[in-house]
A and B are shown apart, each in its own frame.
Chain A
Amino acid sequence: MALLKIVKEGDPLLRKTSRPVEQITPRILQLLDDMTDTMRHANGVGLAAVQVGVLRRVVVIEVEEGNVLELINPRIVAFSGEQHEREGCLSLPHKWGITNRPRAVVVRALNRAGEEVEYRGEDLLARAFCHELDHLDGKLFTDVLIGDVEYER
């Protein structure tokens, strides 16, 4: 198990666009494993590679304990509805806010075997998909707030 350092707000990396993965090398597989360890250790629901300083389109998400979704080059192919819930971010500790997100999204990506997979997510999983995929394009949850930033005391 390897824990990676989580990039925090203020680091210009968080605003950069991540590049697609062209080939699923052992390094990418190692990255997926380390990202899962890091996400779990930080009590996170999800993590994008840019958050550990790697500008690649790689995401891990664990909403249901033990069921880690590993997404390579993910994209949202459909979305519907709306939800306004409180969100935070491992890269923006002590900041929270209500975001505007779709209620449900469908995501397509490659899994670690290079196969095309499709996931449908509602509620928290839909928020996590949107949140992590935004990271890949340099967007943060504070960009989609419908109210003010709430600061943790």
Chain B
Amino acid sequence: MNLRRLALDLLARWDEGDVYINLAVGRACEALPDSERRTLTALLYGTVEKCITLDYFIGTLAKRGDVDPYTRNLLRLGLYEVLYMRTPAHAAVNETVKLARNRGEAGFVNGILRAAARAPQTLTPPPREKNPARYLSVAYSVPLKLVRLLVEALGEQTEAFLQAVTTPSGMTLHINTTQISREEYLAALKDRGIEAHLTPYAPRGVILARSYPPRELPGFEEGWFFVQDEASQVAVSALAPAPHTRVLDLCACPGGKSFGCAVAMGDTGEVRAFDLHASKLSLIKDGAARLKLRSVTAEEQDAAHPSPALAGQGEYVLCDVPCSGLGVLSKKADLRYRDTEGIAALPPLQLSILSAGAACLAPGGTLLYSTCTVNPKENEGVTDAFLASHPDFAYVPFEVGSLRAPEGRLTLLPHIHHTDGFYIAKLKRRVP
């Protein structure tokens, strides 16, 4: 099958709001050989990510308003190829134009793509001076509403944040030190000619200069590592579970923080990983089996309403709540297009999960709240509201490497810490 036609079909269905792009691509990829899989993924994720930028360029080049959805999607794909992929421009243009013929739009599409290929440097976002929010929206392909939310949260830092969070980073691994030391693993990478260095803050992390399929890295089958951003590793280190204790991970999928806790405890205690969706528990079970972490078990639980039997059961309780994901925009191509009303509905859910977490806490236990967003309403907003309704709790200071959180709260920022955008709050019950 023609890859561009397949991409066009999938993009059209995404455009109509029919599918999540990652699910659609995943399904389509099953039937494809590796090389085509990579091309399709890069083309589709890239086009979806850059959609606002591409539409703006199409608007400047088209000089007419009535572009039908089919042709618009074709132009998005073609323009993405011409501007951002390594396909020779003439091939990208010719192949795309072929798909426009049956609509009688070949000339139109050809004109636009050739103009873009001829002088890509003339395609620039609207001037920043005139309308900074619109400039940011087009330049980084982020919906205006989201730009406004980010400006409210980050002010002057918004562009630096967007620059960092929309640039795909390398790949970060959490080394399973129950199987191999971080230094030994780094040496194993070096033997294979893979460029890597240690994470600056987290004690068990390794950063690879570029991404690889995990199976192609040394020690995948042996369980020497799992993929996890440094921010999540820092959260595990902030919790710092002591050996032989019990950790409850309320929103555990795909399991990284549970694995991290088990590794931090030397696989001595008990990590109970919960998730709302029973269908996803196999991700945790398979991961724990590969990593040879016997202390991790996976169960179905609704984090907002966990079983009463869990009351007082966890020396450590982890609430890595569902969130807007503004700190991981580059990792999920279509996340940025989620409506902002959906984001506004998150804090009450997050607060109910944190409150449920508090009820699961054993006497003297430690509660950790985390998100992968920089939206203060989902971060300090939730933990402050929790403290207002739970006066016997307080933030407790923590340190991870050179990161200090004397106020018990830490926001990690991609343009400063070179991690995902992330929020961590550590809470404990106070005593009279």
Contact = CB atoms under 8 A, between A and B. Distances in A.
Interface of A: 43-46, 61, 63-65, 86-90, 94, 96, 123-125, 127-128, 131-132, 141, 150, 152-153
B362 interface: yes
Interface of B: 244-246, 315, 362-365, 387, 391-392, 394, 396, 428-432
19 contacts: A44-B431, A45-B430, A64-B391, A88-B431, A88-B432, A89-B431, A89-B432, A90-B431, A96-B363, A123-B391, A127-B432, A131-B432, A141-B432, A152-B363, A152-B364, A153-B244, A153-B245, A153-B246, A153-B315
Nearest to A134: B432
A87 B363 CA distance: 9
Contacts of A46: 432
B396 A43 contact: yes
Nearest to A96: B363
Contact of B431 (A45, A64, A123, A125): A45
Contacts of A87: 431-432
B268 to A, nearest CB: 12
Contacts of A44: 430-432
A63 B363 CA distance: 19
A63 B362 CA distance: 21
Contacts of A152: 315, 362-365
Contacts of B394: 43, 65
A86 B432 contact: no
B364 A88 contact: yes
A124 B391 contact: yes
A125 B432 CA distance: 9
A123 B364 CA distance: 19
Contacts of B391: 63-64, 123-125
Contact of B363 (A45, A124, A150): A150
A87 B392 CA distance: 10
B428 A88 contact: no
A124 B431 CA distance: 10
Nearest to A131: B432
Contacts of B364: 88, 94, 96, 152
A128 B391 CA distance: 12
